[in-house]
Amino acid sequence: MAAAAASSASEPEAEAKIGPQIGPKAEGEEDEAKDTRRRRKVLSRAVAAATYKSVGSGWDPQAEGVSESDGDEEYAMASSAESSPGEYEWEYDEEEEKNQLEIERLEEQLSINIYDYNCHVDLIRLLRLEGELTKVRMARQKMSEIFPLTEELWLEWLHDEISMALDGMDREHVYELFEKAVKDYVCPNIWLEYGQYSVGGIGQKGGLEKVRSVFERALSSVGLHMTKGLAIWEAYREFESAIVEAARPIAGFLSPFDREQTFDSQLEKVHSLFRRQLAVPLYDMEATFAEYQEWSEDPVPASVVESYNKALQQLERYRPYEEALVSAEAPRLAEYQAYIDFEMKVGDPARIQLVFERALVENCLVPDLWIRYSQYLDRQLKVKDLVLSVHSRAVRNCPWTVALWSRYLLAMERYEVDQQTVSVTFEKALSAGFIQATDYVEIWQTYLDYLRRRVDFQQDSSKELEELRSTFTRALDYLKQEVEERFNESGDPSCVIMQNWARIEARLCNNMQKARELWDSIMTKGNAKYANMWLEYYNLERAHGDTQHCRKALHRAVQCTSDYPEHVCEVLLTMERTEGTLEDWDVAVQKTETRLARVNEQRLKAAEKEAVLAQQEEEKAEQRKRVRAEKKALKKKKKMRAGDKPRADEDEEKEWGDDEEEQPSKRRRVENSLPLANESTGLDAAPAGRRAPVEVDPPSKQKEKAASLKRDLAKVLHDSSKESITVFVSNLPYSLKEPESNLRPLFETCGEVAEIRPIYSKRGDFRGYCYVEFKDEKAALQALELDRKDVEGRPMFVSPCVDKSKNPDFKVFRYSTALEKHKLFISGLPFSCTKEELEEICKVHGTVKDLRLVTNRAGKPKGLAYVEYENESQASQAVLKMDGMTIKENVIKVAISNPPQRKAPEKPEARKAPGGPMVPRQIYGARGKGRTQLSLLPRALQRPTSTAPQAENGPAPPAAVTSEASEAPKMSNADFAKLLLRK
């Protein structure tokens, strides 16, 4: 009775100490308080049973009403009460039928795509709702084999299994689940549940050792966690303290030897836990130190105080990083990266490992973080079990990242994992679903390298060598069939795998015949036109073949190479000069001269064609400028005839865009709303480009005219000093009334607006664009964020103010044109599809960070959209599910966003060398290469250029350029006649 009383008396105090660790309790949360008291009751009874086993028969637990099974029953009740989401109420049979149909649909979908994460989660939820215990267990098992489960999924699973555990076999099954759970992620809550559940089995054989083993492993895993590690320390220490308190009443009845072996050793365990905890920097260390002082009968040793003070200093160093994590929002990747950098500088391996694990809990789908973590373990710790475990977890979290699979295979080879396991891992990588064809080439190359290193090439033939050759054959077939069918490309245009196979056959197997066959296959796959491919083959023949095959390869290269034929010819002549006979030399010279002459002729024709096209384009541009000038002069002449007074400075001052080679509707003019200083008529002054009224309007129209004159702007010169504080606003509605007053409130949210200059036509109509000048540069930069903002149904374009006459290549495009693996491109959408409707469809497959419907300048949809997901995994899953989906009778196409590269047109100015003729270029008109863009000049009258054209992929041999060639004299009619008579 004394023991039980002591245990019960210690309950309130112990509860107050470890309550926050078992579950954070807020004021008024009575359910959590009851649950905590229930758990403490379980701990007290289980510890009492353990004390009986540890101390001996001096105390009878049955007399106190304590049995070995009490811990199991109470913990099962506590776990069931905690995990139970509530009693399910079945109101309608239709609801059950609906759930069954949904379950069948999800099971069918998983049979098609087993890597659908969200489908797994939904299936488990519905099966659990239906009470299908066997099916939900199987569903969870299948999901855990493919994906690592989150803390919430594991705790739900564990609580369900604990509530159903009835005997020792069930308990062992729960232990196995806990072991799997702690391997997926480092989660303090799961470790705490594990420790508490093991306390329930303390009455079984080896139960006490099991509890201590679990808590010690928990401390090794999360004991350094500054915010959550305290819960593990407190729970472990309270467990050992409860044993001490239960044994204290009978300690006086024991012999000195038995007391030292039992009670004193148990007391030392508690002291040791206090000392170990106080040496670790944790939050709320001061309370732990005060508790130790109160609990210990002796003064705290000086060494413990010293370790405690040192830990406090370390805590202050870590506190800024912990506070940054607390203040930031999940997933807090940048904060974790800074924390990792700090820990790497400190260099404590245990803390580095822990901060990586903490970061991965919230950023498990970030491949770069896994790569950095595994690289640290590979190069620094080099612990086999730890390294392989992290690599395995990495590929389970990010199976679409080929770099993680390659690193995993290398790590398995580094730690001498058996070949069967490596092959199984490689097969899993092939079925992971990479999003690029080149990824498959990389994983095949990694596996082939592994097999090559297993071969003993000292033997003429071996099982490993045959396996390597068969794997090379399989790799080529896989790329040709599987990869090309999916991506419309093999991913290996240069035949890297085949090249490596040829090198292995030549250098390691001395089988040049096989190597030559492989190189012939390489050349027939479109690589014969590249000089570097022929030179690679030539070097291989040079090292492991004979001179005859070297000469044969170079002769073929001279005939086939189109990118750098001069280089191949030079190599052939060098070889013949060194080793060939006179006959060989003559043949080589003849072939190279013939080939180079043909190449130069082809280049000359191409250059002439390009020059003609360039000249035609420039002539058309000049003609367009003349037509515009004539139209402008004609309009001025008509106004002068009507009695208008022309502006003196209209023909002299230069406006923006006057000399731009664009259509008149696209030219920009810079005007402002201030009247000229030399006009004395005030508001009655004539606007720029408009005539002054001769007769006086009636008074009823003067007010209307005054209002319209406020919109009239006088032309001003471009002030380059104000570019940094000015933005150009376009694509505004032409019907926008009073643009200045309507736009000013919008742009004043960015900063103080100095002036808004809307642009009007000569008739006084708003042209849809304006200039907004701010007081400072910061406001102008912030105004750029208003780009694409809707203004009366049209997307407003906001771009920097740049003089296009000085920067003709300046363009503003806000979106990436490179491959974005987390973003989708959707085409074929119905024009009536709204952003909200598409978002509802897309968010089923993951978290949608951004969605953009592509529109034209009028704001009308084009049936295209870009959808940005949170990570690559969600994007790849969405592609598999949405591609080919029907939306409003439209079949959409979905792919990873990878816009094709656009070649920028070359400037005409860059085509003219100083003092020389034009360099050829490819320029087409506004409608492309049409039939009307033909040269009408007879060939006999075309003057050939004296400058040698550039090579296709390199400089041509230099040629002398004379002044006569650069400045040819003009030809008279007689000269033309002579040319024709010569023909």
Write the pLDDT tens digit of every residue in 673-710.
Answer: 433 333 333 333 333 333 344 444 554 454 455 445 44
Mean pLDDT of 233-251: 86
Residues 6+ apart with CB under 8 A from 547: 579
pLDDT of residue 844: 85
- pLDDT single digits (tens) 80-129: 444 444 444 444 467 888 888 999 999 998 888 887 888 999 999 999 98
The answer to whether the pTM exceeds 0.75 is no
pLDDT of residue 256: 67
Q: Is 115 or 750 the better-scoring residue by pLDDT?
A: 750
- Contact 614/905 with Cβ under 8 angstroms? no
Least confident of 352-366, 699-713, 876-890: 699-713
pLDDT of residue 811: 63
**How does the average pLDDT of the chain come out, rounded?**
78
Closest CA to 562 of 519, 540, 532: 532
| % the chain with pLDDT above 70 | 71
- Contact 81/42 with Cβ under 8 angstroms? no
Mean pLDDT of 447-469: 92
With bands split at pLDDT 50, 70 and 90, how would you rate the model's confidence at 330? confident
Closest CA to 188 of 212, 208, 217: 217
Q: Is the pLDDT of residue 52 over 70?
A: no
Between CA 709 and CA 680 the distance in angstroms is: 15
pLDDT of residue 420: 95
Instruction: Choose the most confident range, by mean pLDDT, from 48-57, 403-412, 455-464, 881-890.
Output: 403-412
CA distances from 942 to 511, 623, 853, 938, 939 (A): 58, 21, 52, 7, 5
Q: Is the pLDDT of residue 417 over 80?
A: yes
pLDDT of residue 911: 42
Q: Is the pLDDT of residue 917 over 50?
A: no
pLDDT of residue 539: 95
pLDDT of residue 353: 94
Between CA 314 and CA 605 the distance in angstroms is: 76
Q: Is the pLDDT of residue 912 over 90?
A: no
Three-class SS state of 820: strand
Amino acid letter, residue 788: R
CA distances from 646 to 630, 641, 651, 687, 775 (A): 16, 11, 10, 12, 35
- pLDDT single digits (tens) 934-962: 444 454 444 444 434 443 333 444 443 33
- Contact 196/231 with Cβ under 8 angstroms? no
- Contact 417/410 with Cβ under 8 angstroms? no
Six-digit token pair at 362? 């919230």
Between CA 596 and CA 591 the distance in angstroms is: 9
Q: Is the pLDDT of residue 728 over 80?
A: yes
Amino acid letter, residue 482: E
Q: Is the pLDDT of residue 262 over 80?
A: no
- Contact 964/945 with Cβ under 8 angstroms? no
pLDDT of residue 971: 60
Q: Taken in order 475, 478, 483, 488, is the CA torsion positive or negative? A: positive
Closest CA to 523 of 548, 544, 493, 500: 493
Between CA 746 and CA 760 the distance in angstroms is: 20
Three-class SS state of 671: strand
Mean pLDDT of 261-278: 87
Compute CA 624 distance to the chain's CA centroid, rounded to the nearest angstrom.
47
pLDDT of residue 641: 74
With bands split at pLDDT 50, 70 and 90, how would you rate the model's confidence at 719? confident
pLDDT of residue 812: 60
pLDDT of residue 655: 41
Mean pLDDT of 314-333: 92
pLDDT of residue 980: 53
Placement of tokens 């304006």 in the chain: 770
pLDDT of residue 229: 93
With bands split at pLDDT 50, 70 and 90, how would you rate the model's confidence at 609? very high
Least confident of 606-620, 674-688, 813-827: 674-688
Between CA 55 and CA 194 the distance in angstroms is: 25
Mean pLDDT of 871-878: 80
Return the CA Rg of the chain.
41
pLDDT of residue 814: 60
Six-digit token pair at 666? 């696209």
pLDDT of residue 152: 92
pLDDT of residue 204: 84
Mean pLDDT of 726-742: 87
Q: Is the pLDDT of residue 977 over 90?
A: no
Placement of tokens 């915010």 in the chain: 227
Q: Is 187 or 879 the better-scoring residue by pLDDT?
A: 187
- pLDDT single digits (tens) 545-589: 999 999 999 999 999 999 999 999 999 999 999 999 999 999 999
Least confident of 326-330, 333-337, 350-354, 687-691: 687-691
